[in-house]
Amino acid sequence: MEKVTVIGAGLAGCEATWQLIKRGVPVRLMEMKPHKRTPAHVSDDFAELVCSNSLRSDELTNAVGLLKEEMRRIGSVIMESADANRVEAGSALAVDRVGFAKTITERIRTSELVEVVEGEVTEIPAGRVIIATGPLTSEALSDTIRSLFPPEKAYMNFYDAAAPIVTFESIDMDSAYFASRYDKGTPDYVNCPMTEEEYAAFWKELCAARQAEVHGFDDGGVFEGCMPVEVMARRGVDTLRYGPLKPVGLVDPKTGREPYAVVQLRKDNREGSLYNIVGFQTHLVFGEQKRVFSMIPALKNAEFVRYGVMHRNTYIDSPGLLDDTYALKSDKRIRFAGQMTGVEGYVESSASGMLAGINTACEVLGEPAPRFTKQTAIGALAAYVSGGSVGNFQPMNVNFGIMESLGYKVKGKRNKNAEISKRSLALLAELGFE
């Protein structure tokens, strides 16, 4: 049987590989780690989470919650591993990032159908190929990929950032409290309240703090979903209070009132020894991160085990280049998957790998591929990537706005979203995924 080459063992590449081998199609998985790493990677494991450890909402009234449930029903190795390595995070699905990556790595490496080839790939191999090298694709392979496209279809870029991580034992819990917003789920977040005076002093220093130099960076090149906290702060004194520091629904048990502002920390590993500062992705120099973030009362003695980092993400102008199975229109043997296609987020990247893997497997086996329409989140995301605005294409998280409307009115946004999710899961059941 034909062996399919998958380039890149990130989330998308691992999911594509899984979809192929579960259908009996052998895979040559090519991964440049451990011989070479990007600036954002630290581990040799597959499916490394380089930014947040959260896969966001797990509720079906949220589009990403629906996408995750679709993937569970279709049979996703990413979702199986996420559920097995879950850490408490209220209504969100957060994972122990080390355990998550190790689980996936073991599942892939122990399969007799997978040949792992380590080392940097600079040329696209013959035969069917899924390119899932991520937004930090090496320069040599980027040049090769670029040669596949017309000159006017060059790569585009935006900047992405990761938040710092601190040890739990260094958090001053006399100045913090456990709670989840509106008491939804279990009280899993550490909440660090700030008074108006404390917030004002923090905001002033944050706006003035020295940034690390990132070549070609400007505030307009930042993806809105990963906005550095200092960029957000410069938009106005109250911007953070309506964003990641929003105090609504987080009553301080010591005062019985909502604080003026709240910094939330989310568990980053299963043991609860590490917490990341939610919404504090940044590209401040490390010394400034320590100085300014320590102005948060509960973090005055915080031990930072990882500072925030900034990196450039690269994606292709997919509309006009890819079809709704992520195949290259000019060379159907090649598919792309992951953030380089213009999907944004861990779950969305994995979903693109799932769809690319399923369709490639069906081609190899000579079988019809299941048709995921825009009534499903996974199909709507592929439709957006292949049919977005040519020349003005922007990375996109999954959302109900890109899905096919119900065609009838339902009172209340949550009720409408729940009805869209119900329709999607019913359609999957018709396709045999229950």
Residue 417 has pLDDT above 90, yes or no: yes
What residues are paired with 39 via a beta bridge?
Answer: none
Average pLDDT of the chain is 89
If you write DSSP's letter for every residue of 186-212 in order, what string do you get? Answer: S--EEEEEE-HHHHHHHHHHHHHSPBP
DSSP 335-363: EE-SGGGTB-SHHHHHHHHHHHHHHHHHH
Kindly report the CATH number that applies to the domain delimited by 161-312: 2.40.30
Residue with tokens 């035969």: 127
Whether residue 193 is preceded by a cis peptide bond, meaning omega within 30 degrees of 0, is: no
Q: Are 63 and 377 in contact (CB under 8 A)?
A: yes
pLDDT for residue 434 is more than 90: no
- Residues 46 and 306: their CA atoms lie apart, in Å, by 20
- Picking from 142, 176, 177, 173, the residue whose alpha carbon sits closest to that of residue 157 is 142
User: Does 4-155+316-430 carry CATH code 3.50.50.60?
Assistant: yes
Same fold, 4-155+316-430 and 161-312: no
Instruction: With a cut of 70, say whether residue 370 has pLDDT above it.
Output: yes
pLDDT of 63-115, one tens digit each?
Answer: 999 999 999 999 999 999 999 999 988 888 999 999 999 999 999 999 999 99
What's the pLDDT score for residue 110? 97
List the 86-87 sheet strands across, edge first.
54-57, 92-95, 86-87
| Residue pLDDT, tens place only, 1-44 | 899 999 999 999 999 999 999 999 999 999 987 656 555 556 78
Nearest C-alpha neighbor of 59 from the set 225, 245, 224, 184 = 184
Region 326-339: what's the mean pLDDT?
95
Query: Which sequence spans correspond to the domains of the chain?
Result: 4-155+316-430, 161-312
How far from 233 is each of 89, 202, 247, 290, 312, CA to CA, in Å? 25, 10, 16, 17, 21
pLDDT in tens, 192-216: 999 999 999 999 999 999 987 654 4
- CA 413 – CA 1 distance, rounded (Å): 49
